[in-house]
Amino acid sequence: MLTTQETREGEKLVLGLNNLTGRTMVLNRPKALNSLTLPMVQTIQRYLADWEKSDLCDVVMLRSNNRKAFCAGGDVVQVSRDWREGNKAQAMEFFRTEYKVNHHIATYKKPIVAMLDGFTMGGGVGLSVHAPFRVASENAVFAMPETKIGFFPDVGATFFLPRLDGELGVYLGLTGQKLKGRDLLYAGIATHYVPSERHALLEQRLQGLGTSDYDAINLAIEEFVAQPETTESEDFVGVANDVPIDFSLASVRDVIDICFKFNTIEAILQALTEVANQPGPACEWAQKTYAQLNQMSPSSLKLTLEQLRRGAQLDIQKAFEFELVLAGRRLESHDMHEGIDALLVRKTNDAAWDPENVHAVDIKELYSQYFEGEYDSTPLYLGGTSFMEYPHKFGLPTEQEILDVVSGESPQVGNFSLTCGEVIDFFMREYRSKMGVEQKVNWVLSRRTKLKDTDGTLEVIDS
């Protein structure tokens, strides 16, 4: 139950705007980069509930009041303080309410459009990544940096990270690596790329659209997208080449799968060491990534890897329930409070992890602590539907979808051999010539296929 003071605070920090048939939530805590407090999350929860029932609302939008940050995360400093001061119920209420809001966004009965302009991290990812429409700008900066504060990627990361291409989600969840601008589109985080200067016009367009039809909203957003910045290349013809794509991880995309396919942190570190010791373009990346992982809480790394492996088999509802259990147990740890204090309070970035390295983390003890036994907590009681895959697909095709068309495993194509041009044409038709589709399909084909016959048809290269 919200107190009057909390309601007023929440409404001041999350503005609710009505215009025609559009409703917009504006995050309004700029000095804290829109970090979420409990009253803010409770206010978002109330807006969502009210607008979902309103016959006057067709579409809900979520944006920030400035270009520096959409939302830089949850106010974990306050959560840690509450827990250590004995107010454990208040600390858990933040996570419980936040996860309910995230789940509500994922299962919302009306279209939600999240405008990602500026830092989009942690809790900000939870407010956006589950929405059917995620519009990134050149200012967008995505990251899930929780292992650096001794926590784990939450707000539904259990569900969405394992469903990104290959091992990309595991890499992002363990390292906290940042993605910027168009990266979000090609990684599958965003569904559209629209320059920041066009966001206001896009919001006006959606407010006056007068429909809750998802396809109509998608086409309206497509009116504002920007052309890819890279130079067009000739279609891939069967010899691996450097197909231009504006994705910062393009050159190491396959190496990410090679290094992060393992089920132990020790094996991942060993794979990175082997790549780092070999000449080639991935050497520097492997050295940097190894160093990144060594900065993180060792127990958080092992917890996160197991969390994401299990998350691939969980539906959206069970994923959030799982995270609430993990959050409660992680709050009892040394590393979470030490990490928050070192990075966000002292700002010395010198956390004294316990255990101090991954080899000292007893995996059996970690499993017993986080993945076994009963948990004494009020359950989430999530309503709405659940699913194993997001019901709305307005982003670019996944790498697996592209390869399924080549291999004949896609029911939409059947077991027919196709050339590169035919595969690209298929996806351009299916995605209505969506910006970025041709670039991603061409890029995936250049990496993962080869010529099968002299007629130019392709086959998938075994990974």
Q: What is the pLDDT of residues 220-276, one digit of tens each?
A: 999 999 987 654 444 444 334 456 899 999 999 999 999 999 999 999 999 999 999
Q: Which are the catalytic amino acids?
A: 74, 123, 146, 154
Q: Are 420 and 235 in contact (CB under 8 A)?
A: yes
Q: Where are the beta strands (DSSP E) in 184-272?
A: 192-193
Which strands form 192-193's sheet, in the order they lie side by side?
Answer: 14-19, 22-27, 59-64, 112-116, 133-136, 192-193
Distance between CA atoms of 66 and 139, rounded to whole angstroms? 11
Q: What is the token pair recorded at 294?
A: 């060594």
Tell me how far apart the alpha carbons of residues 289 and 451 are, in angstroms, rounded to a whole number.
33
* Tokens 């080449």 -> residue: 241
Tokens 């896009």 — which residue?
202
Neighbouring CB atoms inside 10 A of 220's CB total: 19
> Is-contact 420 237, C-beta < 8 A?
yes
Q: How confident is the model at residue 415 (pLDDT cuts 50, 70, 90)?
A: confident
Q: Is 344 exposed, middle or buried (0-12, 13-18, 19+ CB in 10 A)?
A: middle
Cα separation of 16 and 32, whole Å? Answer: 19
Question: Are 445 and 236 in contact, with CB atoms under 8 Å apart?
Answer: yes
| Measured distance CA(6)–CA(131) in Å, rounded | 26
With vertex at residue 221, the alpha carbon angle to CA 400 and CA 35, rounded to the nearest 5 degrees, is 85
d(CA 426, CA 420): 10
The CA-CA-CA angle for residues 219, 221, 223, to 5°, reads 75
DSSP label at 257? Answer: H
- Inter-residue contact 70 to 11 (CB < 8 Å): no
Task: State residue 68's pLDDT score.
Answer: 96
Distance CA(249)–CA(179), nearest Å, equals 9
Predicted pLDDT of residue 5: 62
Q: Tell me: pLDDT of 448 over 90.
A: yes
Closest to 405 (Cα-Cα) out of 388, 421, 389? 421
Q: At what angle do helices 76-84 and 88-106 cross, to 10 degrees?
A: 150
Q: What is the pLDDT of residue 240?
A: 41
CB 194 within 8 A of CB 134: no
Task: Give the residue among 223, 282, 228 at the shortest CA–CA distance from 257.
Answer: 282
Beta carbons within 10 angstroms of residue 406's beta carbon: 24
pLDDT higher for 230 or 353?
A: 353
In sequence order, what are the residues at sequence separation of 6 or more whose Cβ sits closer than 8 angstroms to the Cβ of residue 64? Answer: 26, 27, 30, 34, 70, 71, 115, 117, 118
Quick check: bond before 355 cis, omega within 30? Answer: yes
**Would you call 283 helix, strand, or coil by DSSP?**
helix
- Average pLDDT of the chain, as a whole number: 93
Residue 139, pLDDT above cutoff 50 = yes
Residue 15, beta-bridge partner list:
26
155-190: pLDDT as tens digits: 999 999 999 999 999 999 999 999 999 999 999 999
